[in-house]
Amino acid sequence: MASKHIVVHGQVQGVFFRQSAQDTAGDLGVAGWVRNRDDGSVEMIVEGEDNAVERMIAWAHEGPSQAQVTGVDVTDTDPQGLRSFDQA
């Protein structure tokens, strides 16, 4: 089980990033949450099987078609036992 804290930078608010992240997480079977940050970035916690979490990170580098991702910060975090993926 992997657990990652992800911060996505660029034009990522107002482009359905959070909804697309929630849809992608559902497709991949990962749990966690996503929210907008005051600095214009988007923050996520993603937990699940290693391969699925890595695929979610790869998705975060692109985001939905309207997004313009300029950077992604990923750090390990302790699993919280999350069971769903929500917008915070």
pLDDT of 5: 98
Rg (CA), the chain: 11
pLDDT of 88: 86
**Residue 83, CB-side half-sphere exposure with 13 Å CA sphere:** 0
Catalytic residues: 18, 36
One digit per residue, the tens of pLDDT, for the chain of length 88 reads: 999 999 999 999 999 999 999 999 999 999 999 999 999 999 999 999 999 999 999 999 999 999 999 999 999 999 999 999 999 8
pLDDT of 71: 98
pLDDT of 12: 97
- For the question of whether the overall pTM of this predicted structure is more than 0.85, the answer is yes
